């Protein structure tokens, strides 16, 4: 029994550690993010029986709670500028996106409110479904749809695009 539990946890960790680390790096400095990832997986080990079959959303919510609980009384450790630089360093450089376009995207992302930015990144960057992202943000699916729509519209305007691209939120597009 213990062997099965350990094997399940190792698979959970190997399959999702990168996604949890990327999420934590958006909010924290690298050294602190590593601690948050460790705490997130420690919680996953303790609550392994509660981890759902599709654990990514659960892990992201756990990481968010870890960050909030651990750093609630501290000032924000990383300013938006630093977080955007980290995202830039972590982002793959697709062949069709020039460095200038990437800079424009980061500027447009920086112009969003924190709620809008977090909503669009959870869906587009972390790949969460609408339900998972709404749960992570502790808001309704409808509120998430509004945030994503506003974020897309503002980003499209900032980028000079005619129409924002669609972001898939579970069973429907926003």
Which one has a higher pLDDT value, 64 or 100? Answer: 64
Note whether residue 12 is domain-resident: yes
Angle at 141 between CA 157 and CA 136, to 5 degrees: 95
pLDDT at position 79 over 50: no
Q: How many of the other CB atoms lie within 10 Å of CB of 17?
A: 14
Same domain, 8 and 50: yes
Domain that holds residue 133: 94-173
How high is the mean pLDDT of the chain?
81
Q: What is the pLDDT of residues 43-68, one digit of tens each?
A: 999 999 999 999 999 999 999 999 88
Note whether residue 22 is domain-resident: yes
Residue whose structure tokens are 């399959």: 15
pTM for this predicted structure: 0.53
**Looking at residue 28, which CATH number applies to its domain?**
1.10.1740
Q: Give the model's pLDDT for residue 81.
A: 59
**Looking at residue 149, which CATH number applies to its domain?**
1.10.10.10
Same domain, 56 and 100: no
Residue 55 near residue 16 (C-beta atoms within 8 A): yes
Which of 71, 102, 129 is at the close of a domain?
71
Residue 116 near residue 154 (C-beta atoms within 8 A): yes
Q: Give the model's pLDDT for residue 73.
A: 41
Q: Give the model's pLDDT for residue 157.
A: 85
Note whether residue 120 is domain-resident: yes
Note whether residue 152 is domain-resident: yes
Same domain, 50 and 103: no
Distance in angstroms (rounded) separating the CA atoms of residues 69 and 77: 14
**Count: domains in the chain:** 2
Q: Give the model's pLDDT for residue 39.
A: 94
Residue 47 near residue 21 (C-beta atoms within 8 A): no
Residue whose C-alpha is closest to residue 164's, from 172, 174, 153, 173: 153
The two structure tokens encoding residue 101: 């376009």
């Amino acid at each position: 029994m213990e062997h099965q539990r350990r094997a399940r946890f190792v698979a959970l960790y190997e399959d999702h550690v990168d996604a949890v680390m990327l999420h934590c790096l958006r909010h924290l400095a690298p050294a602190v993010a590593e601690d948050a990832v460790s705490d997130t997986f420690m919680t996953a080990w303790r609550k392994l029986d509660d981890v759902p079959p599709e654990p990514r959303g659960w892990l992201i919510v756990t990481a968010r709670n870890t960050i909030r609980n651990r750093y609630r009384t501290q000032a924000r450790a990383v300013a938006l500028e630093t977080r955007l630089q980290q995202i830039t360093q972590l982002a793959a450089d697709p062949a069709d996106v020039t460095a200038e376009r990437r800079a424009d995207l980061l500027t447009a992302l920086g112009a969003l409110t924190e709620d809008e930015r977090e909503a669009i990144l959870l869906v587009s960057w972390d790949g969460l479904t609408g339900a998972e992202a709404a749960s992570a943000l502790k808001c309704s699916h409808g509120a998430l749809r509004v945030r994503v729509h506003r974020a897309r519209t503002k980003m499209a305007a900032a980028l000079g695009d005619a129409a924002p691209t669609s972001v898939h939120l579970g069973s429907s597009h926003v």
